[in-house]
Amino acid sequence: MKRLARVVSFAAAALVAVAATAAHASVALLLEQPYGDLGVFNPTGHAAIYLDHVCAASPLELRPCKPGELGVVISRYDDISNHDWIAVPLIPYLYAVDSVDDIPKTANRDEVTLLRELYRRHALESVAPDDVDGSAPSGNWYELIGSSYDRTIYGFSVATTAEQDAGLIAMFNDRRNVQHYNGAFRNCADFARTTINYFYPHAVRRNFVADFGLTTPKSVARALTHYASKHPGTDFHVFKVPQVPGTLPRSYGIQGVTESLLKRYGVPLIVLSPIATGVVFIAYMGHGRFDMPRHAPVLDLRPHTLDVDEASVVDAADDSPPAALPLPVPSGMAAGPMLPATLVLHDGPPAFDRPPLDPANRFSTELLAPITTE
């Protein structure tokens, strides 16, 4: 078994070495499921943008990534220090920590609240400063970090060039970052739509039929998927970031406007107006229907270990897509295939798909001190 472990180690290292010969930048739509009480009444979810070769100099300034960095998530929320967009590195955005070594395997509400508050004091004071009594401020700043504790996220990725990334950095850094949020016409999905259209003009448009002219996160994913199907050069990929296990409520499925009307109020609508219901149904089926990708590769950045003794045999008859993901990878490296999904991961030697982040990039000792208020 030790010899087998060495063989597996050598094979995985070889795959990484071969994959590191080229680099491919990308922009991804992050389609995030709704959660909580608001998600019950507004099941459209949230949209954000992930760039794997663009990083955050600060929450309000972008820069090119350095080798080993995993990129940035840029998103629009209302009521965050009057800013239109905020940039947060990928790991904190998903897990509210700086290092993959600190990502918890499970989480409860108190733990997530603490992780978010620690990271806010560590990196987001400029956009979410303390209240006068030293406590955490109100507002939606908590949505910027630890998103994977609240919901499952789907990613829809297309390729970008270094010139496009540089142009985007200059555009975002030069223009005024002032909030003009509007839930109908300047929401999170509109931000994602206009950002993707910077790279691929006219790829994503408002859906005037199925969403009554509103831009919803699901309509952006649908439009980008359809655009990529007609333009193979986009290097289109999908992936899934699962919600972290724990005691927090699970997130809900994402819906568009007409889809939500039909699934929630279909029977009353039929009783009140069968003709109007038929029109809504046709609009949804023709211009709004879109299913989340099945068998999407799972983007799980939490550290894994391989126990060769308990590894299962790959089933050659299994025709489901492999759990390999082309991103994210450290800036300056190409993506490499991961180990087969059927290998069981337990305690043992480190896995070989862990991003090479600096182990010293953790919370300071002072930051981990208990939070007190006077």
Two tokens, residue 323: 């759990």
Domain ranges of the chain: 20-206+214-254+292-304+318-343, 256-291
Pick the residue with more confidence: 153 or 137? 153
| Contact criterion met (CB below 8 Å) for 239 and 298 | yes
Q: Is the pTM of this model over 0.85?
A: no
Q: How confident is the model at residue 38 (pLDDT cuts 50, 70, 90)?
A: low
Supply the pLDDT for residue 219: 85
- Beta strand pairing call for 46-51 and 72-75: antiparallel
Give the tens place of pLDDT for each residue, 155-196: 999 999 999 999 999 999 999 888 887 666 678 889 999 999
- Local structure of 12: helix, strand or coil: helix
Supply the pLDDT for residue 289: 61
Query: Quick one: 233 exposed, middle or buried, by C-beta within 10 A (0-12, 13-18, 19+)?
Result: exposed
What gap in Å lies between CA 147 and CA 149, rounded to an integer? Answer: 5
- Local structure of 234: helix, strand or coil: helix
Q: What is the mean pLDDT of residues 347-374?
A: 38
Residue 21: pLDDT over 60 = no
Residue 332: pLDDT over 60 = no
Q: Which 8-state DSSP code applies to residue 186?
A: B
Give the tens place of pLDDT for each residue, 206-261: 765 555 567 888 889 888 998 999 998 899 999 999 999 999 999 988 766 666 66
Pick the residue with more confidence: 209 or 54? 54
Supply the pLDDT for residue 91: 96
Lowest mean per-residue pLDDT among 242-256, 262-276, 358-372: 358-372
Identify the residue whose tokens are 């029977």.
Answer: 267
Provide the strand spans (E) within 271-355. Answer: 305-306, 345-350
Pick the residue with more confidence: 323 or 257? 257
- Local structure of 354: helix, strand or coil: coil
Supply the pLDDT for residue 66: 93
